Amino acid sequence: MQMTGNTILITGGASGIGRALAERFHALGNTVIIAGRREALLEQVAAAHPGMKSAVLDIADAAAIQRFAQQLMLEYPSLNAVIHNAGIMKTEILSEGKLEDAEATIATNLLGPIHLNAALIQHLEAQPHATIMTVSSGLAFAPLSLNPTYCATKAAIHSYTQSLRYQLKDSSVQVLELIPPYVQTELTGERQANDPHAMPLEEFTSEVMRLLETQPDATEICVERVKAQRFAAENGGYDAFFKQLNDMMTAARSK
């Protein structure tokens, strides 16, 4: 990925991984637009970094995405990078038969990036250099049973990203997949943000930026801490890895 001279849209950019990446890319001199649902928080983050831009977007609303994309391209004709970071993660008890959280998760984590790509793809293809970065998860490769739809959407994002990359292989658009491990963010609440078993956000972001700079042709951005999960199937012992992960996390969340 080109590290400077970009105009970058980052969804879910007001907190967690999205905010951390926004701050790093902004510090490198890129034009960064953070987008999300929480207008006040977006404005607060942007104000703390002079020159950073913000825009309200409900990534689960297909019609809103169309309006947002049209306005974005008008205001930022040099837009050449999108980081699809927005996401939600809900605990689901499947035996309860409730679908509200599952439907919201699919709309946000899977359909949102698909709709936004569809709205921006021709604009991005017209740029001399462009990047689409999806954010999946180590849970795309070894899922956590407490969050079945979240894990399923991330597995789908991995598959979608591979297809997108192949379709755009002869274009100016580079397609990357960022695969985070369990990171100290508020994705699932305060417990995760303070969990010593999770990777510190600053450490994760520093390693990601180093990988982007030193491996410009990489297709998957995997910090060391996620590799055991990403390659659990390839390395053998998948069933044991899956059981250990789910036993550990189920026990931790029951406390």
pLDDT tens profile 166-199: 999 999 999 999 999 999 999 999 999 999 999 9
What's the whole-number mean pLDDT along residues 87-94? 96
- pTM for the whole structure: 0.96
What residues are annotated to the active site?
Answer: 150
Amino acid at 242: F
Question: Taking a C-beta distance cutoff of 8 angstroms, is the pair 143, 182 a contact?
Answer: no
Q: Quick one: pLDDT at residue 131? A: 98
pLDDT confidence tier of residue 253, bands split at 50, 70 and 90: confident
Q: Map out the domains of the chain as residue ranges.
A: 7-226
Q: Reply yes or no on whether the pLDDT at 255 is more than 90.
A: no
What's the whole-number mean pLDDT along residues 119-148? 98
What's the whole-number mean pLDDT along residues 210-235? 97
pLDDT tens profile 12-59: 999 999 999 999 999 999 999 999 999 999 999 999 999 999 999 999
Q: Reply yes or no on whether the pLDDT at 129 is more than 80.
A: yes
**Mean pLDDT, rounded, of the chain:** 97
What are the phi and psi torsion angles at 2 (to 5°)? -65, 125
Burial level of 94, CB count in 10 A (0-12/13-18/19+)?
exposed
Q: State which fold the 7-226 domain adopts.
A: Rossmann fold (3.40.50)
In which element (H, E) is residue 33 found?
Answer: strand 31-36
Q: Quick one: pLDDT at residue 252? A: 84
Token pair for residue 117? 């790509």
Burial level of 163, CB count in 10 A (0-12/13-18/19+)?
exposed
Print burial letters for 14-51: b (CB count within 10 Å at least 16), e (below 16).
bbbbbbbbbbbbbeeebbbbbbbbeeebbeebbeeeee
